[in-house]
């Protein structure tokens, strides 16, 4: 069973900015989003719970240094993933 991906405004802005700077990473980025929607715990995503200020959020990896920060939420009565932001390790933590 798949998850509904809900993109926040901050995520959309950050994704556009990142993909404009790194168009060669677009394929990996969209493949990871697809995999996240199908199985958020797929091993290659290296999904993990965050702590501290981001304690309610989770992160997954898209390649070496790119991270997607998200939360598990209910959206229109369905299980969903709220995509909060995307960026390099240093940008999102």
Tens-digit pLDDT profile for residues 43-68:
999 999 999 999 999 999 998 889 99
- Quick one: pLDDT at residue 89? 87
Given a contact cutoff of 8 angstroms between Cβ atoms, the answer to whether 83 and 16 are in contact is: no
Residue ranges of the domains in the chain? 4-92
Q: How big, in percent rounded to 5, are the helix, strand and coil portions of the chain?
A: 40, 35, 25
3-state secondary structure of 10: helix
pLDDT at 93 over 90: no
- Quick one: pLDDT at residue 22? 92
- Quick one: pLDDT at residue 90? 87
The DSSP symbol for 93 reads: -
Q: Beta partners for 83?
A: 7, 70
Token digits of residue 23: 């168009």
Task: Report the percentage of the chain scoring pLDDT > 70.
Answer: 100
Reported pTM:
0.93
* Domain 4-92, CATH: 3.30.2310.20
3-state secondary structure of 79: strand
């Amino acid at each position: 069973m798949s998850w509904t991906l809900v993109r926040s405004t901050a995520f959309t802005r950050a994704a556009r900015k990142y993909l404009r700077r790194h168009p060669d990473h677009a394929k990996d980025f969209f493949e990871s989003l697809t995999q996240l929607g199908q199985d958020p715990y797929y091993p290659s995503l290296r999904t993990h719970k965050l702590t501290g200020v981001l304690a309610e959020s989770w992160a997954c990896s898209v390649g070496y240094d790119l991270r997607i920060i998200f939360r598990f939420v209910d959206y229109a009565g369905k299980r969903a993933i709220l995509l909060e932001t995307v960026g390099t390790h240093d940008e999102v933590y």
